[in-house]
Amino acid sequence: MVRYNIIALPNISLGDFPYSVVRTKQENCNPSCLGDCNCRAAFYINGTCKKYKLPLKYGRSQNLSVMIFLKVNRRNDVSSDPRPPSPVILMDGKKILIIFLTLGFIALICSVIAISCFFTYRQQVHRYRNLSPENVNVEIAGNFTLRSFSYNELEKATDGFKEPLGEGSFGSVYKGYESEGSKTIAVKRLEKFVEEGERDFRAEMTAIGRTHHRNIVQLLGFCIEGSRKLLVYEYMSNGSLADLLFKAKKRTLWKERVRIALEVARGVFYLHQECEVHIIHCNLKPQNILMDDTWTAKISDFGLARLSVPNQTRTAMGIEATSEYSAPEWQKNALISVKADIYSFGVLLLEIVCCRRNIDVNVLTADEMLLSN
């Protein structure tokens, strides 16, 4: 038979609900709990004895005149330890305050995060709605607007055309720097360009300036002062494809040559099909494929041929064909179409694959002189 003792603890209350409430004196509350098998603790206050079953959740300190009676096993030595047994968890007001403050702080942090996410989302939605097609088109058009330079500006930018970069079919190219910053530019003097009116030249350059592709050299601006016509391009720091194929000491890796061929093909397709005004290059060759600082291939000099309009002939364009890359229709003085560029690209592709010029006299047999045969 298990015998129990009763421990009396003053000024402590229980935070659970009693299963029995009896009005009696304080001296009767202790024996009443001791004689009740269900009672594990009794709480006496203001002439009322409240009985509690297990489990006892927690107790807390009170400044009122109250008394709690705890039933414990007799074999437990509690005479020297006035603290309640393990099932009873006592919490004072300071600990409860700390817990509530901690929970409140966590709730505040979560609320701040939720509110900031909500307002960020609303701001993004508002900005997205303000991006109407009209606004986007205006911004793109502004980015592609060509700048009109004066001759003196370009002469100063190139230090009097002091540093030549090369010579193309229509004139020499010089290295320069914009006066507004340290941006490097390439200035082409059109020395062999067909004569035409200023209005027509501006219209043609404006159409060319709208072209924007990763594999197209970007035209930044132009200058027209009487017979002097100059074009300003983005600077290409790594020379031309001709230098890479024919002048390099070590043959370029096959993987890199495949990449360059694909980039040139994308640029040609853009000129023929995707830009606003379809353009026939008419002079596609390694010297007109330039490499930027990341070794990306970009097509240049495409803007110096006439735009793709019906009834184009070589004479009407005022441009001499390059025999190594010219299509058969050039020799026949026939109508020029995009097929002329396709033929030139085919010859260019052979040169990329073989790393040699289309015409090479330093060969063993005469059959090897012309690569495209």
pLDDT of the chain, 373 residues: tens digit per residue: 557 777 777 777 777 778 888 888 878 887 888 778 878 888 788 888 888 888 777 777 766 667 777 777 765 444 444 455 444 455 556 778 888 889 989 999 999 999 999 888 888 777 766 554 444 443 444 445 788 888 998 999 888 999 988 876 677 899 998 866 678 999 988 876 555 566 767 777 777 888 889 999 998 888 888 778 888 999 998 989 999 998 888 888 999 999 999 999 999 999 999 887 788 888 889 999 999 999 999 998 876 655 444 444 444 444 444 567 877 777 777 777 888 889 999 999 999 998 888 887 777 777 777 777 6
Specify the 3-state DSSP secondary structure of 59: strand
Distance CA 120, CA 3 (A): 67
Q: Which two tokens stand for residue 83?
A: 């603290």
Domain of 192, CATH number, reads: 3.30.200.20
Same domain, 170 and 201: yes
Same domain, 282 and 351: yes
Q: Is pTM, for the whole model, over 0.75?
A: no
Same domain, 253 and 211: no
Same domain, 226 and 248: no
291 bridge partner residues: 297
In order of 170, 230, 297, 355, the CA distances from 188 in angstroms are: 8, 6, 19, 28
Contacts of 79 by beta carbon, 8 Å cutoff, 6+ apart:
none
Distance CA 173, CA 178 (A): 15
Tally of domains within the chain: 4
Structural domain of residue 32, as residue ranges? 4-91
135 assigned to some structural domain? no
Backbone angles phi, psi at 282, to 5 degrees: 70, -5
